[in-house]
Structure 1
Amino acid sequence: MELQGVANDLLATFISRYNQIDGYWALGKFQSFLSDGAHGSIIIDLIATDRITSAYEKFPETNRYYSGAMVRIAESKGIPVDWIVAGSIEVRSLSKYELHCRAQLTADNGRKFASEALVQANKHSPAEFRSASDITGPSNQRGQ
């Protein structure tokens, strides 16, 4: 049950407005990436962070940050990281305004723990949205 809390907290940070890339809300960037129709989903592998996928090539900082976030969240709850043998965050566009986000962790005993959310997110448009980096400081993907 402890890993359910890790999955919940991981997803909460992922869908947060503080999840930014280059000063813009990351989910808007993901919506733009998915809106071209060439990609069905973005899958961020939290364990094999060096595995090259289309998501890793386009969003390497997201891959690295959330792999580290999973470790930090687990450790903050007193959970040994080696209990987690697989982990991912998947983002799918349901419409041009809605994303389905899912964080899933697999324990060393085979049990799976997932947290899901539907998020309203317009695709990123630099013409419409101003960068928040000069207002709120660095994005959460740059620090530890």
Structure 2
Amino acid sequence: MGRRRELGSIASGIIGSFRSRNNDVDGYWGIGKLYLFVDHLQSKCVSIDLCSQRIAPYNPHFDLMTECYSKMFKGLLIKRSIPLEWIRAAYVYVEFEADYEERHHNWRSALGNPCNLVCVVVDDNGKSHVARAYTNCFPHDAKRESRSIR
């Protein structure tokens, strides 16, 4: 039987994978595609519910990515013998055009605007297990990017 404290490690694994360049949508970096989607909206935030496989704001273009991360989350729970009943909620939040934080965004280490990512897993005792990641990105532009062929 797993332990609830392992939920922090699971959140860290999810957010690390979500941040990586291997998170692709149609062969392009998923975060850049999400940024392009919300670029014209007033709120520059995206929320993905890992339990119900829903993304807000909704766009069917991201259904496969949402399903993939939901399955990954549930697979990690199974791998660590953590019952699904222990999970009250699990979300990935992405905030684009975030305030620059010198210790997190490492100016000039990556091009683009600061972006904050958070994975929150709330257990049945009401405790939140949180993992954070930081990156910089531009909205997706197929003319500037190379498409993955995998």
TM-score (norm 2): 0.80
User: How large is the RMSD of aligned CA atoms in angstroms?
Assistant: 1.7
Per-residue displacement from partner, 1:88-142 (whole Å, max 9, x unpaired)? 1011112552211100000011111111111111221011112112xxx1xxxxx
| 59, 84, 88: which one aligns with 1:85 | 88
Greater mean alpha carbon deviation, residues 74-83 or residues 40-49: 74-83
Match of 1:41 in 2: 45
What is the rounded CA distance, in whole Å, between the counterparts of 1:103 and 1:129 in structure 2?
Answer: 27
1:110 matched to 2:126? The reply is: yes
Q: How does 1:115-134 map to 2 (within 5 A)?
A: 115-133=131-149
Secondary structure, aligned partner of 1:55: coil
- Amino acid across the alignment from 1:129: E
Indicate the structure (1 or 2) with the bigger Cα radius of gyration.
Answer: 2
Counterpart contact for 1:43–1:55, Cα < 8 Å: no
Match of 1:141 in 2: none
Could you tell me which runs of 5 or more consecutive residues in structure 1 were left unpaired when the two chains were aligned.
138-144
Counterpart contact for 1:10–1:73, Cα < 8 Å: no
What is the rounded CA distance, in whole Å, between the counterparts of 2:121 and 2:147 in structure 1?
Answer: 32
What is the rounded CA distance, in whole Å, between the counterparts of 2:144 and 2:138 in structure 1?
Answer: 11
Identity, % of aligned pairs? 25
1:100 matched to 2:104? The reply is: no
What is the rounded CA distance, in whole Å, between the counterparts of 2:22 and 2:39 in structure 1?
Answer: 22
- 1:34 deviation in Å? 2.5
- 1:39 deviation in Å? 3.2
CA distance 1:106–1:15, change in 2 (3 Å): same
Could you tell me which runs of 5 or more consecutive residues in structure 2 were left unpaired when the two chains were aligned.
99-111
1:55 matched to 2:51? The reply is: no
- Amino acid across the alignment from 2:113: Y
What is the rounded CA distance, in whole Å, between the counterparts of 1:11 and 1:55 in structure 2?
Answer: 20
- 1:6 deviation in Å? 0.7
TM-score (norm 1): 0.83
What is the rounded CA distance, in whole Å, between the counterparts of 1:19 and 1:52 in structure 2?
Answer: 16
